[in-house]
Amino acid sequence: MKKQEWNEGMNHLDPDIIEKYIEQKDRLRQKNKRSKGIWLRIGVSAACLVIIISGMTATVKKLEDKTQSSAMLMFPTWDDAPYSAEEIAALFDEMKYEGAQTNAYTTVYVPKTKYLYTDKIPKDEYLDIYKHNEAQMSLSKEDFEAFVDDILPRFAESACITVPEKDIQVKDNCLSFVTESGSYLIHGYQNQRKSSFHISNGKQKIILDGEVVQIDQSLSDKEIINSIQSIKNKLFGIFNVSFTDVKVIRRYGDYSNFGAERVYIYFYDESAHPLNAVQTLPVSDYVCVSFDNFLNYSDDIVSSDTLWVADIKYVKWRDDVKKEYVPSTKGKRISLEDASCLLYCGFVFGGHSCPRCMENQEKIVFDSYDCVDIEYVSGMPFYVFYKNIGKSKNGNLIYAKTYVAAIEVSGYDEYFERQKENH
């Protein structure tokens, strides 16, 4: 035992107990009863030892609490960092309104932790930071019409419908059309960056070349991907594309007893842009088949296994996507220990959720978080922390999810002090 710890333990002894011990010792001498005195001394000494140990335990506990408290206050700072906390907060566009607080979290529901889709944290000393290119292409009705006319006949043939007429409109800096054929609703748009083609069939099945577009959500992701190979080939033929990669994303809620509320299947090329490897959603061209399993109205179709209420969307960038998200610089990755310290200090940023709802959320202490990942938001890397906060009515696990900048950032204390003033 260290001398300092022993002395601190002794300082916690109750003076009354020590005084009683001395009085008992004097009485023992007066009585001169050796055998009885020995046993009494042993008993009192044992009691005293217990008190000493208890005092030292309390001291060590106080020291630990003090150390933890100091760690909470001694957050890491980087005065010469290339980005400020205010700039980082501005990346969360949905939080940008007067009085919005940034140290909020998003609530995520999953039946199992694996559906949080967390990956291993990279060990790179520096992380790429991507800048969104502000340059925009002019709208081109001729290009958009060619894009649609290339797809529409092939889809109509596959779905056994008449090729519908379309009327392209210009509105809000966007070209768009909406048309129908049979029970199918078809619409598309073009903005300064990309064009899209969207197919839905209400609550009826989408049938391509006689095959229903459907999946069994009770299967594993790998089994779902294998089961949809034939549909994938049909879609590649309709949109005249060929992608090498595919991912399944399941989104869950807090009350449905029918598994995922939506399941997304993305066909894309991971190699088309580095961000594809670190973001949930592709930033390059893709085809997405999404399945609705959300009970909102009495006639909604939901299932614990087979899903066939589907939407199909094809997104094509008008220019090289690598010109859209350009690696502008590299940021020095902070350690997980430093990120955890910022987390405990409350220097976190809100996720993509309704900011007014986030203001009213119960405060969550992220001590002993359950898992952490790296995720990019608007080209900037963040540590994403998840904390299990209970179970929902339908048995799904509830996780609070919050963001800490994964690179060196300055001005944390100043920015969050201003946040306190707003609330």
Domain boundary among 25, 55, 73: 73
Going by C-beta distance under 8 Å and a sequence separation of 6 or more, which residues neighbour residue 215? 224, 227, 228, 263, 265, 291, 306, 307
Instruction: Mark whether 166 and 262 lie in a shared domain.
Output: yes
Q: From the CB of residue 265, how many other CB atoms can be counted at a distance below 10 Å? A: 21
Q: Are residues 217 and 147 in the same domain?
A: yes
For helices 141-159 and 229-239, the axis angle rounded to 10 degrees is 140
Same domain, 98 and 170: no
Segment holding 114, helix H or strand E: none
Residue 104: domain span: 83-133+328-422
Which residues, in sequence order, are CB contacts of 308 under 8 Å at separation 6+? Answer: 205, 206, 212, 213, 214, 291, 301
Last residue of a domain, one of 292, 323, 354: 323
For residue 78, tell me if it sits in a domain: no
Token representation of residue 111: 């039946």
Domain match, 384 and 303 both: no
pLDDT (tens, 9 = 90+) of the chain, 423 residues, equals: 444 444 444 444 444 544 544 454 454 444 444 444 444 454 545 544 444 445 544 444 444 444 444 444 567 889 889 899 988 988 876 555 555 667 789 899 999 999 998 888 888 999 999 988 877 899 999 999 999 999 999 999 999 999 999 999 998 899 999 999 999 999 999 999 999 999 999 999 999 999 999 999 999 999 999 999 999 999 999 999 999 999 999 999 999 999 999 999 999 999 999 999 888 889 999 999 999 999 888 899 999 999 999 999 999 999 998 888 888 889 999 999 999 999 998 899 887 667 677 777 888 888 889 999 999 988 899 999 999 999 999 999 999 999 999 999 999 988 888 877 655
- The DSSP secondary-structure symbol of 201 reads -
The amino acid present at 390, given as its one-letter code, is G
Domain total in the chain: 3
Nearest to 195 by CA among 239, 134, 163, 147: 147
Asked if 98 and 384 count as a contact pair (C-beta separation under 8 A), the reply is no
20, 18, 6: which is closest to 53 by C-alpha? 6
| Whether residue 154 is found in the same domain as residue 54 | no
The helix (run of H) or strand (run of E) holding residue 74 is: none
Are the C-beta atoms of 392 and 59 separated by less than 8 Å? no
Q: Six-digit token pair at 391?
A: 């179970």
Element housing 381 (H / E): strand 380-391
CA–CA distances in Å: residue 239 to residues 136, 195, 287, 317: 24, 12, 9, 14
Is 228 part of any domain?
yes
What pTM was estimated for this model as a whole?
A: 0.79
> Kindly report the CA angle at 358 between 356 and 359, in degrees rounded to 5?
65
157 and 105 part of one domain: no
Do residues 291 and 391 both lie within one domain? no
